Amino acid sequence: MKTLMMQRRKLLTSALYGAVAAYGLRPAMAFAAQWPAKAVNFIVPFAPGGPVDTAARIVTNGMSQQWQQTAVIENRAGAGGILGARLSAQAKPDGYNYFFAAIHHAILPSLNQSLEYDIQKDFVPVGMVARFPIILVAHPSLKVKSVKELIALAKAQPGKIAYSSSGTGGGTHLAGALFASMARIELQHVPYKGSAPAVQDLVGGQVQLMFADATSALPFIKSGKVIPLGVGNPQRSELAPDVPPIADEGLPGYEAYSWSGLFAPVGTPADVVKQFNQDLNVQLKDKDVIAKMHGSGSEAMPMTPDAFGTFLSDEIAKWHKTITEANITIQG
């Protein structure tokens, strides 16, 4: 009798644990299965119409149709992307709040020691979205037609060749700083307030070089007003297929381009992040989406969350080294 009671108790206990386990798992499984059940919110930390915003709208428009749910983009520009990042880090990690980060957020930790967020600790990577190629272009008066010729000339004239950028600490500035460091040459950096004036002074001959975003450079390359020497992509860019990679033209290992990717606040359910990444990559492999991104100056970059997290870590380390070696600082 006692043995029978013990067996019965074991069966009841086993059933109880099974019920508890099933109860604990069911809500999470149901949540992931029905996500998204309402509008999904995205913060873009830059003004409307810029490259990150444009790529974000192309992708989220497709995802909205895929999900049959509204994708809400909120532009929260300010402090070079810091404001939007801070607000996103404070958002509820319920699977409905996301953040379009950019190359700025891999650079800022080395330039600003008082950030109120940590891009690696306060967020989880969802996936890469876009790459914005950077093309090294020269004014015809410099009379160089290759990266090798440029490096040789710069070594013969240290500090005499000037390159413009869209601003100190930005992607086009650091692309030049990385180039100079790897080539062991000295270039003079001339910062501007934006790409447009930087390109105009290059075309006008006030500066001799620029590591320009493809959108700004391509019209002047086509008109012959500037000479393309190389692209910062590791392979040829789909936007400028005739321009060879800088890495293949005399500077092995060189890689520099701007980018944008999606993050979620830390604590966002892992199953939702996984599903979001799969849905995102469906869009990034869609021919219409790819064509629209090419038309706006970007390249689709599907990537897993883990691969994107590794990419971010590598970017932070690369730009920290570049900034430290070049002793780059920003005011304010």
* 172-196 burial: b if 16+ Cβ within 10 Å, else e: bbbbbbbbbebbebebbbbebeebe
pLDDT in tens, 170-185: 999 999 999 999 999 9
In the chain the domains, ranked by start, together with CATH numbers, are 34-132+257-326 (3.40.190.150), 133-248 (3.40.190.10)
Rounded Cα gap, residues 282 and 262, in angstroms: 15
Residues 6+ apart with CB under 8 A from 127: 261, 262, 276, 277, 280, 281, 302, 303, 304, 305, 308
Average pLDDT of the chain to the nearest whole number: 92
pLDDT in tens, 285-303: 999 999 999 999 999 999 9
Which amino acid is located at 217 in the chain? A
Q: How confident is the model at residue 113 (pLDDT cuts 50, 70, 90)?
A: confident
State mean pLDDT over 86-114: 97
Closest CA to 171 of 109, 243, 106: 106
Evaluate if residue 322 carries a pLDDT over 80.
yes
Q: How confident is the model at residue 330 (pLDDT cuts 50, 70, 90)?
A: confident
Residue 266's pLDDT is: 98
The percentage of residues in the chain with a pLDDT greater than 90, rounded to a whole number, is 88
Q: How confident is the model at residue 5 (pLDDT cuts 50, 70, 90)?
A: very low
Residues 6+ apart with CB under 8 A from 148: 249, 250
